[in-house]
């Protein structure tokens, strides 16, 4: 007997997709269950997802995953057949299964023993959900239903038929004809329209004659709508609607469809088995049917995309070098024709290179919904544990970001959600006494803003009192009392990001240890992102994260200071301004400038890296300041010249500079020049952590930095 296949990226990826689809179905069911009714198609989809996971896990030897899926499949079958009510305890078990599956996948991916994740407690809870053993009533009470129909219905279809009768809905028969070559499209289109009126229970072969290129079906529909309303809503060629018990001649007349020509020797029509829950299955079809896959998606290992991205970066460097060569050719005598031809080729190459670069970036993009779905489970779980009814509203889930950034967003977003639930949203009693609704709301929004993406997390809770934060910070020694009196409101609010600081006196399982918001700041800074906080006591708080769309290709601002060229990652640059020497002030040993009413600390690269002694501004009336941002901080970097923007490929540093803080890597510009890429996070900490009078032991090394030393890429 052959051994089961080893865990592979394909298995893990496909299993992850199935589990996430299952989770999305549960979240929708959880929302609908509160209203007392739910879409049975969601339960069907959840059942099919677990059935697929069971087969996939069995194929790859993930026996523990397969066993749990099998137990869960039985429970979902009982739910869809009405033997088990869709209650909150049942949903709790299903949501717990999502977490257990995720943990099992993580262990299986590491090729470790599956026993590291025990499913026994969950299996006991699944077994405790014993379905009712009551049998449903007989078929005689369904008025107008041909008894022969029950003989062809599946157990699930019969249950849904009776459920519609129990809910007081009328039963309708919708007669439709479809082109055989486009039957799947036609059925899905009609089903979408019918679902606006009620539930599509089943598809039945029609007794009416068909042709060799068309097939006719009767669709059973349960609805509270009138016959006339349904007929008007699906007024298409060849569609009739009539109530059960009526004959087709009693139905509203449909618009005349195209004539059907009967062949003298009709060819056999492929037999079709159609059910509402199992989809469409065609058998005995022509042997000339295409074997091409219906799916047009291909899973690509991210490392392969990284290789392509590096090649694109190298091509960009070649293009820059060619541009430099073109300038040299232009200087030669009688080279006008050659120069024009080379210019044309360069423009073509530039366009194609841009298209290639964008295409690769597009492949790396994934929707933020992948993270938002996980957060919805977190809100449900933590809200129930805290005894708070919390509704999560998600918008912009289809906004796309680089896959690597999306993965890194999980932790900071989760900590912000936890902060909203524990610190922000009040208890039901508190909200009622304040005149608020009993349910708290958290809004999770994402939208594109230029070449960046903004993610907002906003709650309608108690908000933050900046005076309370200031007093707690003084009490816990985070800031001195004298210093706190000089702090502006926003500076005080930013203290929530200080490691170990919390306004809570007692830590809970959710928050209170001062770790969460520090994780938020650290992770967002690592992604070259910005974070802003807007809060008002009694009204709630809003956290806004601004992120670059991708980190795969770095756009850099090329600057010069003390005759040395550097690059600053453009995704950290907010703007560039020009000030005069008179605008620069010194506050407690720090050089600052005033920007739109706020104090902005500034940093001199030449002094940090000791590139030049006795520094003097080239022009005291025209001093360039590049404003960079990281997490909640903003700092101005003083430079001599702004040389432009360029896409760059980051190369590792040579031994001489590998340990120098403030340098993230090296890159090549046109003409074979190697320059250094600045590490904005270190420079921001340097500007905020000491006086700008010179380097310290904790700052960047006080050795001369030269781009030529950054070799050995």
Q: How many helices (H) and strands (E) does the chain have?
A: 20, 24
> For the ranges 49-58, 86-95, 111-120, 338-347, which has the lowest average pLDDT?
111-120
- CA dist., res. 254 & res. 258, Å (int): 12
Banded pLDDT at 504 (limits 50, 70, 90): low
pLDDT digits (tens, 9 = 90+) for 344-368: 777 777 777 777 877 777 888 888 8
Instruction: Report the largest interatomic distance among the alpha carbons of the chain, rounded to a whole angstrom.
Output: 102
Q: Poorest-confidence range of 47-51, 481-485, 690-694?
A: 690-694
pLDDT of the residue at 28: 87
Q: What is the pLDDT of residue 602?
A: 87
Q: Could you tell me if 553 and 647 are in contact, meaning their C-beta atoms sit under 8 angstroms apart?
A: yes
Whether residue 592 is predicted with pLDDT greater than 80 in this model: the reply is yes
Average of per-residue pLDDT across 95-116: 75
pLDDT of residue 629: 81
Domain range 554-709, CATH class = mainly beta
* pLDDT, position 446: 93
- Would you say residue 374 has pLDDT above 60? yes
Query: What string of H, E and C letters represents the secondary structure of 457-487?
Result: EEECCCCCCHHHHHHHHHHCCCCCHHHHHCC
pLDDT at 706 over 50: no
Q: What is the mean pLDDT of residues 35-42?
A: 80
CA–CA gap between residue 404 and residue 396 (Å, rounded): 19
- Mean pLDDT over 449-465 rounds to 89
Tens-place pLDDT, residues 603-617: 888 888 877 655 566
How confident is the model at residue 499, as a pLDDT?
A: 81
Return the beta strands (E) in 389-433 as ranges: 390-395, 400-402
pLDDT for residue 284: 39
In this prediction, residue 458 carries a pLDDT of 94
Q: What percent of the chain has pLDDT over 70?
A: 76
- Predicted pLDDT of residue 257: 36
Residue 442: its pLDDT value, please? 93
Query: Tokens 């990001």 — which residue?
Result: 497
Q: Which two tokens stand for residue 4?
A: 């089961």
Q: Region 400-426: what's the mean pLDDT?
A: 87
Average pLDDT over residues 37-65: 86
Tell me whether the CATH fold assigned to 139-257+271-282 matches the one assigned to 368-548: no
Sheet strand arrangement including 623-630: 573-579, 623-630, 633-639, 598-604, 590-595, 585-587
Q: What is the mean pLDDT of residues 504-526?
A: 67
Give buried/exposed letters for 273-306 (b at 16+ CB in 10 A, else e): ebbbbeeeeeeeeeeeeeeeeeeeeeeeeeeebe
Higher pLDDT residue, 260 or 18? 18
pLDDT at 372 over 70: yes
Which of 28-42, 44-58, 196-210, 619-633 is least confident?
Answer: 196-210
Q: Where are the beta strands (DSSP E) in 237-326?
A: 240-243, 272-275, 279-282
pLDDT: which is higher, 564 or 504: 564
Indicate the pLDDT class of residue 425, thresholds 50, 70 and 90. Answer: very high
What's the CA gap between 201 and 36, in Å, rounded? 20
* One CATH from 3.30.70, 2.40.50, 2.30.30, 2.60.120 for 139-257+271-282: 3.30.70
Closest by alpha carbon to 146, among 195, 206, 200?
A: 206
Indicate the average pLDDT of the chain: 76
Give the residue carrying structure tokens 């080279």.
335
What mean pLDDT is predicted for residues 666-677? Answer: 75
Domain coordinates in residue numbering, the chain: 9-128, 139-257+271-282, 304-365, 368-548, 554-709
Report pLDDT for 526: 80
Give the pLDDT band (50/70/90) at residue 459: very high
Smallest CA-to-CA distance from 377 within 44, 94, 118, 109 is with: 94
When mean pLDDT is compared across 16-20, 217-221, 583-587, 689-693, the lowest value belongs to 689-693
CATH-assigned architecture of domain 9-128: Up-down Bundle (1.20)
Other residues' Cβ atoms within 10 Å of the Cβ of residue 424:
24
Mean pLDDT on 396-417:
87
Model pLDDT, residue 162: 83
Q: Tell me: the pLDDT tens digits for 251-276?
A: 444 333 333 333 334 333 333 333 33
Torsion of CA 22, 23, 28, 32, to 10 degrees: 90
Residue ranges with strand state E in 364-466: 365-367, 390-395, 400-402, 440-449, 452-459
Measured distance CA(593)–CA(580) in Å, rounded: 10
CA–CA dist 514, 382 (Å, integer): 18
Cα separation, 435 vs 433, whole angstroms: 6
Strands 452-459 and 540-548: antiparallel
Q: Who wins on pLDDT, 247 or 183?
A: 183
Work out the average pLDDT over 569-585: 86
What confidence score (pLDDT) does residue 86 get? Answer: 86
pLDDT for 497 equals 85
Q: What 3-state DSSP class applies to 703?
A: coil
Beta bridge mates, 459: 442, 541
Among 152-156, 194-198, 220-224, 273-277, the range scoring the smallest mean pLDDT is 273-277
Q: Which pLDDT value is given to residue 454?
A: 92
Over residues 355-384, mean pLDDT:
84
In this prediction, residue 114 has a pLDDT band, given cuts at 50, 70 and 90, of very low
Residue pair 417/379 in contact (Cβ under 8 Å)? The answer is: yes
- Overall residue count recorded for the chain in this entry: 713
Q: Alpha carbon 706 to chain centroid distance?
A: 41
Average pLDDT over residues 519-539: 85
228 CB-contact burial (10 Å; exposed 0-12 / middle 13-18 / buried 19+): exposed
- CATH assignment of 368-548, given 3.40.50.720, 3.30.565.10, 1.25.40.10, 3.40.640.10? 3.30.565.10
Residue 691 has pLDDT above 50, yes or no: no
DSSP for residue 531: E
Task: State the Rg of the chain over Cα.
Answer: 33
How many whole angstroms from its chain centre is CA 215?
42
Burial of 379 (0-12, 13-18, 19+ CB in 10 A): buried
> Which residue from 201, 392, 417, 183 is spatially nearest to 281, judged by alpha carbons?
183
CA angle 678, 682, 684 (to 5 degrees): 100
Give me the phi and psi of 427, to 5 degrees please.
-70, 165
């Amino acid at each position: 007997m052959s051994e089961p296949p080893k865990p592979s990226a394909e298995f893990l990826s496909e299993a992850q997709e199935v589990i996430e689809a299952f989770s999305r179905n549960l979240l929708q069911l959880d929302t609908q269950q509160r209203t007392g009714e739910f879409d049975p198609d969601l339960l069907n989809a959840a059942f099919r997802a677990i059935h697929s996971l069971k087969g996939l896990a069995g194929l790859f030897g993930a026996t523990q995953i397969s066993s749990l899926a099998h137990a869960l499949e039985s429970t979902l079958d009982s739910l869809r057949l009405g033997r088990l009510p869709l209650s909150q305890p049942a949903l709790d078990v299903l949501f717990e299964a999502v977490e257990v599956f995720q943990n099992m996948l993580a262990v299986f991916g590491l090729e470790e023993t599956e026993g590291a994740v025990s499913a026994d407690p969950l299996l006991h809870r699944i077994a405790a959900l014993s379905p009712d053993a009551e049998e449903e009533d007989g078929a005689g009470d369904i008025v107008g239903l041909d008894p022969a129909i029950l003989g062809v219905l599946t157990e699930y279809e019969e249950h849904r038929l009776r459920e519609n009768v129990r809910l007081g809905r009328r039963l309708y028969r919708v007669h439709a004809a479809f082109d055989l070559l486009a039957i799947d499209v036609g059925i899905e289109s009609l089903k979408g329209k019918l679902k606006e009126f009620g539930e599509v229970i089943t598809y039945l072969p029609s007794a009416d004659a068909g042709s060799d290129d068309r097939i006719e079906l009767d669709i059973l529909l349960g609805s509270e709508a009138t016959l006339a309303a349904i007929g008007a809503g699906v007024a298409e060629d060849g569609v009739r609607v009539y109530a059960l018990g009526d004959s087709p001649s009693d139905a509203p007349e449909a618009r005349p469809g195209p004539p059907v020509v009967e062949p003298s020797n009709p060819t056999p029509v492929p037999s079709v088995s159609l059910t509402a829950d199992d989809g469409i299955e065609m058998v005995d079809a022509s042997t000339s049917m295409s074997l091409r896959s219906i799916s047009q998606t291909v899973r690509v290992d991210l490392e392969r995309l990284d290789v392509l991205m590096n090649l694109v970066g190298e091509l960009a460097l070649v293009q820059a070098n060619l541009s430099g060569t073109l300038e040299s050719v232009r200087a030669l005598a009688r080279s006008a024709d050659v120069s024009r031809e080379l210019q044309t080729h360069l423009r073509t190459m530039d366009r194609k290179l841009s298209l290639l670069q964008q295409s690769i970036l597009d492949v790396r993009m994934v929707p933020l919904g992948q993270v938002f779905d996980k957060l919805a489970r977190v809100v449900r779980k933590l809200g129930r544990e805290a005894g708070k009814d919390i509704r999560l509203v998600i918008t912009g889930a289809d906004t796309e970001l680089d896959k690597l950034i999306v993965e890194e967003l999980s932790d900071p977003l989760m900590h912000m959600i936890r902060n909203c639930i524990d610190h922000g949203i009040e208890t039901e009693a508190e909200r009622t006494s304040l005149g608020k609704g009993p349910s708290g709301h958290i809004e999770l929004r994402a939208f594109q803003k230029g070449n960046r993406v903004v993610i907002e997390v906003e709650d309608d809770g108690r908000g933050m009192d900046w005076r309370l934060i200031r007093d707690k910070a003084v009490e816990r020694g985070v800031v001195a009392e004298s210093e706190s009196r000089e702090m502006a409101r926003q500076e005080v609010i930013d203290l929530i990001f200080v490691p170990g600081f919390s306004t809570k006196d007692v830590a809970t399982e959710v928050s209170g240890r001062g770790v969460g918001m520090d994780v938020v700041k650290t992770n967002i800074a690592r992604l070259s992102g910005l974070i802003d906080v807007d809060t008002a006591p009694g009204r709630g708080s809003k956290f806004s994260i601004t992120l670059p769309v991708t980190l795969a290709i770095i756009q850099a601002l090329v600057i010069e200071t003390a005759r040395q060229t550097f690059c600053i990652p453009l995704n950290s640059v907010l703007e560039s301004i020009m000030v005069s020497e008179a605008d620069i002030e010194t506050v407690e040993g720090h050089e600052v400038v005033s920007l739109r009413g706020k104090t902005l600390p500034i940093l001199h690269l030449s002094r940090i890296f000791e590139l030049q002694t006795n520094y003097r501004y080239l022009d005291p009336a025209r001093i360039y300041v590049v404003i960079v941002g990281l997490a909640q901080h903003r700092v101005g970097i003083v430079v001599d010249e702004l040389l432009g923007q360029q896409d760059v490929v980051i190369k590792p540093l040579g031994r001489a500079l590998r340990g120098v803080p403030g340098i993230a890597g090296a890159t090549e510009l046109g003409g074979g020049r190697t320059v250094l890429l600045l590490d904005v996070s270190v420079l921001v900490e340097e500007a905020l952590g000491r006086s700008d009078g010179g380097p310290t032991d904790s700052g960047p090394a006080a050795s001369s930095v030269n781009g030529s030393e950054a070799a050995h890429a």
